[in-house]
Chains A and B, each alone.
Chain A
Amino acid sequence: MLYYVDLAFNGLIFGCMYALMAVGLTLVYGLLRILHIAHAAVYAFGAYVAVIVANGTGSIAAGFAAAMVAAACLGMAIYRLLYQPLLGYPPYVAMIASIGLLVFMEDGFRIAFGEQGLTFAHNPYPTQLHEFAGLTVNTVQVAIIAAAVVCLTLLALFTTRTRLGIAWRATVSDAPIATSFGVDAVKVRYLNFAIGSALAALAGALIGLLNNFVEPTMGFVVSYKALAIIVLGGLGNLQGTLIASLVLGLVESYGTIFVGRYLDRDAIAFLFLIAVLIVRPKGLGGIKTA
């Protein structure tokens, strides 16, 4: 019994990590109708900045702060330099460019920082164990869940209670009408890329801390899974995306145990995606936006 609870907990942790990744991705889709695959490069970038700054300054907190700020800048630069000029073309043009950027950045990390990856010089957290209702969890796992809950709650408050947040949601659901009400759609896009990228960097840095390992290809499979999640959630739909993140985390966690002999972890995730899409072609969340 406890074993299954353990699996559920593991699934939950992955679900939280996916949620941090997927929120930015689904909002980019909602705003621009672009599948922003290079989001995974931002995730890996965040992990690299975190580990390098943390090792340089000796403070993991400083590493995380630097990662989020640097990733926000990177996200805005990607929008300005790559996506904005391509908005008038069919969406696959931006998507191929995005895949190109992911491949380019991944290989760039490998060349710049080596194939073996980097580790945190001083990282006691993954081995600090806590007993919690019979479960043994480490500090980083708790931090991942806390980070997801805090960030997503703040995001929810921001998008429902502040003027800027409401303008953001309005632009996601109907850009021309939002613009006619005086919302600056371009500023909203920058805001969107900044916040989404900062959250992706946070997820990357946390996973780097959890495994105490940051490597060039860490974003590769996560990127496509995040795509699967936003499709499952019904592209552009925030609630659907959050639900899909947690569900996929759990499906993978249990799936690896029950069908792991026939399929690997990634294949299970995509099999689940295909099965859901055949029943519900618009995903779990339907076609509502934001």
Chain B
Amino acid sequence: MSAYATSVLAIIGINVMLAVSLNMITGFCGQFSLGHAAFYGAGAYAAAFAAGAGAPAPLALLAGVIIAGLLGIVVGFASLRLRDDFLAVTTIGVSFLFVGFVRKQPWLGAEMGMSKIPSSGLGSEGNALLILACALLTIALSLYVNRSWMGFGFRAVGDDEDTARTVGISVGAYKLVAFTLGTAIAGLAGGLYAYFTQFIVPDTFGFIVSVTLMAMVVIGGTGSTIGVAIAAVALTLLPEVVRFTNDYRLLIFGGLLVLVMRFAPGGLAGLGRAVLVKARGK
């Protein structure tokens, strides 16, 4: 595999992990989060720091998962008190807060980021395969969760919190679990990213990344694991395919968001469902 193909595959895998895990929080449980990149970054920085301190790769990745998951619990607690748009703006705040904090920390490399992260010992192709395996596992976990009792609880909370509470669903517990699970997976993606590139800077985890991830979820169709995974692959490949217009990348991305929302607010999954209904109707 060429180095280019390897890196595209790795980034696809990471974006699938991030989008699918965000979908658990936003799609399943209905908690709108525009701060997912912060947890991705927390995982990357934690893993990079642990690896730099001499921890072996599995331990460093675990550190990333734990730190991101802990932060996720904290933000999950915020979601117990804040609803809808208040939560959306708070998570935007989390995104800016994370980058603003890391930028000013000399022990995390400040603006320059962390370089010379030790190798995982797998080589870049091994890393990419590990990332793809994790992405597939994330999709499988998401599908499993959706079919389980827990997924039912998530959907109940997402559809109507007050009704869910009335029928005896512990709304707070489900929200916390959704945040912890989703952010822990984002942390793992961050750790894998740190090992893959061996070099991280604060801007990789900025607000625009959070928005891109949310765009993957919404374009894929909130709540649909497969739709979101497809959207993640498509939106990652798009800049590669339209490389000749690299200068217009953001213009195209923004325009695409507007057009998809304007003409297919249900996303890919919504479109798919509409086509199915039509086919059955005939």
A residues near B (Cβ < 8 Å) are 29, 33, 35, 82, 85-86, 89, 91-97, 99-108, 111, 224, 227-228, 231, 235, 261-271, 273-274, 277-278, 281-283
Contacts and interface: CB of A to CB of B under 8 A. Distances in A.
Main SS of the interface on chain A? helix
A167 B185 CA distance: 50
B270 to A, nearest CB: 10
B257 A103 contact: yes
A102 B265 CA distance: 18
A93 B218 contact: yes
A262 B90 contact: no
B233 interface: no
B258 A271 contact: no
B101 A262 contact: yes
Given A267-B99, A267-B100, A281-B82, A274 B94 contact: yes
B255 A100 contact: yes
B276 to A, nearest CB: 20
B218 A274 contact: no
Contacts of A89: 265
Given A100-B255, A224-B96, A261-B104, A106 B250 contact: yes
A263 B82 contact: no
Contact of A278 (B32, B78, B211): B78
A96 B213 CA distance: 11
B257 A96 contact: yes
B100 A82 contact: no
A103 B256 CA distance: 10
B248 A100 contact: no
A215 to B, nearest CB: 15
Contacts of B89: 35, 227-228, 231, 273
Contacts of B248: 107, 111
A93 B263 CA distance: 11
Contacts of A228: 89, 92-93
B274 to A, nearest CB: 14
A111 B93 contact: no
Interface residues of B, number: 41
Contacts of B92: 224, 227-228, 270
Contacts of B211: 99, 103
A95 B78 CA distance: 21
A270 B93 contact: yes
B82 A97 contact: no
A107 B246 CA distance: 12
A216 B25 CA distance: 33
Contact of B101 (A101, A105, A267): A267
Nearest to A102: B254
B84 A86 contact: no
Contact of A97 (B85, B86, B261): B261
Given A92-B218, A263-B100, A267-B99, 8 more contacts: A82-B258, A96-B214, A100-B257, A103-B250, A104-B257, A264-B100, A270-B100, A277-B90
Given A273-B90, A274-B97, A93 B254 contact: no
A150 B75 CA distance: 40
A281 B255 contact: no
Query: Which of B78, B94, B97, B247 has most chain A Cβ within 10 Å?
Result: B97
B104 A92 contact: no
A35 B88 contact: yes
A281 B81 contact: yes
Nearest to B256: A100
A270 B86 contact: no
Interface string B65-80: 0000000000000100
Contacts of A103: 208, 211, 250, 253-254, 257
A95 B93 contact: no
B217 to A, nearest CB: 9
B97 A111 contact: no
A100 to B, nearest CB: 3
Nearest to A103: B254
B262 A85 contact: yes
Contacts of A111: 247-248, 251
Contact of A235 (B85, B254, B255): B85
B215 A96 contact: yes
23 contacts: A82-B258, A86-B261, A96-B215, A96-B257, A97-B262, A100-B261, A101-B258, A103-B253, A103-B257, A111-B247, A228-B93, A231-B85, A231-B89, A262-B105, A267-B100, A268-B100, A269-B96, A270-B92, A271-B97, A273-B89, A277-B82, A277-B86, A277-B90
